[in-house]
């Protein structure tokens, strides 16, 4: 127990931090988790979003039809063609907390950034930050280092079009070993396009534009062959939605508020789900179960409201709010429910073919649910008897709701095979946020099987219980699901079988960026003075050159060969993860058929064309595409 007499609490204990010190000391309050760029919710993407939000707000207010974005080795440059920041307030807007135009609802009626924090956080967390405004033939610029003003110009004449230029480089002392993954950036850009029809975004000379809003979004996210009927697309004042039913398991939703992608949903998404159920029940005059109505739904909803209330600074979940300060009687829930009830019901009356397709899909889901009911009950009883949390799962101490929001984002579940690998990771892990699930042998190849197999197969049943995803990923217990297998043929096969399991039955886990492959070193190169761990042949060659002479070289093939002490280096702060990314144009059925179908010609040709003795392993995302 600490000696209380040694702990002083007096006037010297009280400290006041200025804005940049507070942001740098508590970045999680402003941008969620930090990360290195391997997750779509990592801080470097929040920095990008904060700057882009301001550009989008200008477009939404009718100023500027294009935005230029470029990235070069971590340096981000963004140029919009809006009105430009008022020159006399240029420095204040990016360096004085709670300063901005968005407190004045007349200037920005329905914007995202209402707290006056966004660009200040970008400034404070960047090793270099420059802002320049072009306004009515005049310009000013200012440069900063970690929030400290280093240089600024006087007002200058310019021939540039009105707008704002921001250049920033994330501070690599805050964001360790960070890198932007282009697929994540492009997905963010596409979302801005879908919500702002007619806006052109140019990213590294690639053009992005959408004319049909959420209809384009769903068409890009789905395969037309997998949909039961053509996409329903409905638009109203300050609301837009699109939906269809597919053949996949689970539900898939995309939700937005004032152009912000609310990845955790909120009141507007909850209302959308409720409204679909109520409208369908009323239209057909049948008390269908909600899960049967929503099974295989893919939907998107966007609303625009004045002064939205989000549950965090990163604005990923909408709280309970009214539509506008002037209309306290109409909540977002009521607004969405009323719109869906009227317009979806009218649509179904006018399109009997789609009405019939929805009815057939619901009835199919009902049959499948009833067939599963008995199997699920037995499976749940087996899971309890298996004493999951003692035998299969070495859980972490973190429990949802008991810790800070940013801590939840750090939670990880390592899926391993074999006692030696599980033992090494279990001894090396951080028990606060890292858990281990141990497989017994290779998992079943579930390609082409129904969801019944998830409950009948003990390994799959226990895994879904460990993740708490039986009824969807809303209750997902771990933000990172990490496949940790040996760097050999068997390990690759296990990875493929697990990928098949998630893609077949829980595709949202992949779509939402929760699935990763753990990188572990292939080689250990050492002499008496230094040890270097290498993840590729190239790194091994560099290590040999650096150490000189004839260093000892060890080739790791199994995770069990790596000691717990060594593992601490590979699953700690410098952990290397390859995210599993679904290309948005990809069809899951086609992907699974390609990789897991019986001797497909395309796969045979690919193997023949790419057959080599040994291939360098590099740190890149695992991109699944047709």
Residue 344, SS3? helix
pLDDT band at 622 (very low <50, low <70, confident <90, very high): low
**What is the pLDDT averaged over residues 550-562?**
86
Q: What is the pLDDT of residue 262?
A: 83
**What is the pLDDT averaged over residues 340-365?**
95
CB atoms within 10 A of CB 548: 8
Are 249 and 451 in contact by the 8 Å Cβ rule? The answer is: yes
| DSSP H stretches of helix in 264-411 | 267-284, 290-294, 332-350, 352-385, 388-391, 405-409
Domain boundary among 181, 209, 237: 209
Task: Kindly list the distances between the CA atom of residue 304 and the CA atoms of 23, 113, 215, in Å, as whole numbers in the listed order.
Answer: 29, 13, 17
Domain boundary among 308, 334, 368: 368
Same domain, 536 and 587: no
Are 530 and 506 in contact by the 8 Å Cβ rule? The answer is: no
pLDDT of residue 325 exceeding 60? no
Among the listed ranges 119-128, 245-254, 288-297, 523-532, which one has the minimum average pLDDT value? 245-254
pLDDT, tens only, 463-521: 998 898 887 787 888 999 999 988 778 888 899 999 999 988 998 898 888 999 998 88
Q: Report the CATH number that the domain containing residue 589 is assigned in CATH.
A: 3.40.50.670
Same domain, 360 and 449: no
Q: Evaluate whether residue 134 is within a structural domain.
A: yes
Among the listed ranges 58-72, 192-206, 217-231, 402-416, which one has the minimum average pLDDT value? 402-416
Same domain, 283 and 226: yes
Among the listed ranges 275-279, 547-551, 597-601, which one has the minimum average pLDDT value? 597-601
Among the listed ranges 448-452, 483-487, 607-611, which one has the minimum average pLDDT value? 607-611
**What is the pLDDT averaged over residues 532-553?**
91
pLDDT of residue 405 exceeding 80? no
Q: What is the pLDDT of residue 603?
A: 58
Mean pLDDT of all residues belonging to the chain: 83
For a pLDDT cut of 90, what percent of the chain falls above it? 40
Length, in residues, of the chain: 626
pLDDT band at 601 (very low <50, low <70, confident <90, very high): low
Query: pTM for the complete prediction?
Result: 0.78
Q: Evaluate whether residue 157 is within a structural domain.
A: yes
**What is the pLDDT averaged over residues 160-170?**
96
- Joined tokens for residue 391: 């035998």
Among the listed ranges 146-155, 212-221, 367-376, which one has the minimum average pLDDT value? 367-376
Q: What is the pLDDT of residue 140?
A: 96
Among the listed ranges 23-27, 195-199, 286-290, 389-393, which one has the minimum average pLDDT value? 389-393
Q: What is the pLDDT of residue 163?
A: 95
pLDDT, tens only, 80-135: 999 999 999 999 889 877 555 544 444 444 555 444 467 899 999 999 999 999 99
Q: What is the pLDDT of residue 391?
A: 66
**What is the pLDDT averaged over residues 562-576?**
84
Same domain, 429 and 538: no
Are 120 and 24 in contact by the 8 Å Cβ rule? The answer is: no
Burial class (CB in 10 A: 0-12, 13-18, 19+), 470: middle
Same domain, 193 and 222: no
Query: What is the spatial distance between Cα 522 and Cα 562, in angstroms, rounded to a whole number?
Result: 10
Among the listed ranges 104-108, 283-287, 314-318, which one has the minimum average pLDDT value? 104-108
Among the listed ranges 231-245, 396-410, 542-556, 559-573, which one has the minimum average pLDDT value? 396-410
Query: What is the spatial distance between Cα 297 and Cα 589, in angstroms, rounded to a whole number?
Result: 16
Are 401 and 408 in contact by the 8 Å Cβ rule? The answer is: no
Q: Evaluate whether residue 7 is within a structural domain.
A: no
Q: Which residue is listed with tokens 């021939």?
A: 159
Phi, psi for residue 567 in degrees, rounded to 5: -60, -30
Among 361, 342, 357, residue whose Cα is nearest residue 234: 342
Q: Report the CATH number that the domain containing residue 32 is assigned in CATH.
A: 3.30.565.10
Same domain, 190 and 295: no
- Report the number of distinct structural domains present in the chain: 4
Among 415, 468, 421, 471, residue whose Cα is nearest residue 443: 415
**What is the pLDDT averaged over residues 323-338?**
76
Q: Evaluate whether residue 4 is within a structural domain.
A: no
Q: Which residue is listed with tokens 């539900």?
A: 251
Q: Evaluate whether residue 348 is within a structural domain.
A: yes
Q: What is the pLDDT of residue 1?
A: 43
Q: Evaluate whether residue 247 is within a structural domain.
A: yes
Q: Evaluate whether residue 230 is within a structural domain.
A: yes
Q: What is the pLDDT of residue 626?
A: 55
Domain containing 548 equals 521-555
Same domain, 103 and 145: yes
Same domain, 480 and 354: no
Query: What is the spatial distance between Cα 571 and Cα 431, in angstroms, rounded to a whole number?
Result: 12
Q: What is the pLDDT of residue 520?
A: 85
| DSSP H stretches of helix in 235-321 | 267-284, 290-294
Q: Report the CATH number that the domain containing residue 318 is assigned in CATH.
A: 3.30.230.10
Q: Evaluate whether residue 165 is within a structural domain.
A: yes
Q: Is the dihedral of CA 500, 502, 504, 508 positive or negative?
A: negative
pLDDT band at 168 (very low <50, low <70, confident <90, very high): very high
pLDDT of residue 42 exceeding 80? yes
Same domain, 48 and 190: yes
CA atoms within 13 A on the CB side of 622: 21
Q: What is the pLDDT of residue 7?
A: 61
Q: What is the pLDDT of residue 220?
A: 86
Q: What is the pLDDT of residue 410?
A: 82
**What is the pLDDT averaged over residues 193-212?**
92
Q: What is the pLDDT of residue 108?
A: 43
Angle at 597 between CA 595 and CA 602, to 5 degrees: 65
Domain boundary among 209, 233, 268: 209
Same domain, 400 and 544: no
Q: What is the pLDDT of residue 617?
A: 41
pLDDT band at 614 (very low <50, low <70, confident <90, very high): very low
Same domain, 306 and 326: yes
Same domain, 547 and 583: no
């Amino acid at each position: 127990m600490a000696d209380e007499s040694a702990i002083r609490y007096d006037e010297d204990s009280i400290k006041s931090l200025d804005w940049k010190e507070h942001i740098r000391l508590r970045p999680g309050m402003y941008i969620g988790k930090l990360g290195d760029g391997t997750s779509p919710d990592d801080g470097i993407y929040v920095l990008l979003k904060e700057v882009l939000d301001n550009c989008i707000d200008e477009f939404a207010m009718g100023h500027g039809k294009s935005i230029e974005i470029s990235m070069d080795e971590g340096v981000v440059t963004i140029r919009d063609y809006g009105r430009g920041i008022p020159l006399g307030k240029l420095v204040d807007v990016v360096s004085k907390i709670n300063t901005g135009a968005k407190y004045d609802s007349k200037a920005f009626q329905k914007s995202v950034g209402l707290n006056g924090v966004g660009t200040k956080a970008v400034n404070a967390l960047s090793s270099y930050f420059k802002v320049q405004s072009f306004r009515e033939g005049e310009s000013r610029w200012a440069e900063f280092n970690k929030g400290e003003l280093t240089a600024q110009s006087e007002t200058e004449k310019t021939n540039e079009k009105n707008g704002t230029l921001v250049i920033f480089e994330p501070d690599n002392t805050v964001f360790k070993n960070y890198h932007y993954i282009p697929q994540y950036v492009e997905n963010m850009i596409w979302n801005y396009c879908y919500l702002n029809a007619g806006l052109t975004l140019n990213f590294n000379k690639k053009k992005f534009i959408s004319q049909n809003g959420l209809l384009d979004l769903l068409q890009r996210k789905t395969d037309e062959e997998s949909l039961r009927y053509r996409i329903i697309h409905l638009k109203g004042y300050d609301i837009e939605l699109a939906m269809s039913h597919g053949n996949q398991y689970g539900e898939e939703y995309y939700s937005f508020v004032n152009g912000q992608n609310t990845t955790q949903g909120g009141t507007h998404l909850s209302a959308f789900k409720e409204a679909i159920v109520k409208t369908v029940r009323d239209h057909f005059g049948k008390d269908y179960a909600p899960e049967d109505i929503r099974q295989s739904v893919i939907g998107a909803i966007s609303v625009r409201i004045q002064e939205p209330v989000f549950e965090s600074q990163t604005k990923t979940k909408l709280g309970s709010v009214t539509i506008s300060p002037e209309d306290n009687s109409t909540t977002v829930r009521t607004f969405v429910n009323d719109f869906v009830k009227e317009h979806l019901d009218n649509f179904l009356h006018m399109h009997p073919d789609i009405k019939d397709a929805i009815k057939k899909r619901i009835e199919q889901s009902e049959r499948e649910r009833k067939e599963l009911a008995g199997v699920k009950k037995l499976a749940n009883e087996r899971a309890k008897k298996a004493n999951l949390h003692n035998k299969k799962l070495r859980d972490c101490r973190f429990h949802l709701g008991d810790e800070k929001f940013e801590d939840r984002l750090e939670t990880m579940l390592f899926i391993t095979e074999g006692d030696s690998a599980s033992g090494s990771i279990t001894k090396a892990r951080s028990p606060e946020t890292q858990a281990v699930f141990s497989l017994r042998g290779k998992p079943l190849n579930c390609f082409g099987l129904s969801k019944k197999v998830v409950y009948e197969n003990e390994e799959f049943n226990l895994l879904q219980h460990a993740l708490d995803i039986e009824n969807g990923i809303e209750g997902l217990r771990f933000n990172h699901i990490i496949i940790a297998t040996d760097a050999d043929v068997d390990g690759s096969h296990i990875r493929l079988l697990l990928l098949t399991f998630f893609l077949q039955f829980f595709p949202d886990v992949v779509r939402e960026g929760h699935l990763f492959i753990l990188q572990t070193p292939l080689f250990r190169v050492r002499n008496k003075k230094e040890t270097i761990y290498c993840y590729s042949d190239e790194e091994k060659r560099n290590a040999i050159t650096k150490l000189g002479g004839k260093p000892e070289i060890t080739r790791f093939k199994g995770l069990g060969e790596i000691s717990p002490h060594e593992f601490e280096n590979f699953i700690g702060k410098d952990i290397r993860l390859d995210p599993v990314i679904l290309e948005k144009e990809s069809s899951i059925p086609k992907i699974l058929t390609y990789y897991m179908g019986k001797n497909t010609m395309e796969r045979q040709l690919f193997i023949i064309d790419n057959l080599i003795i040994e291939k360098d392993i590099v740190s890149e995302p695992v991109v699944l595409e047709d």
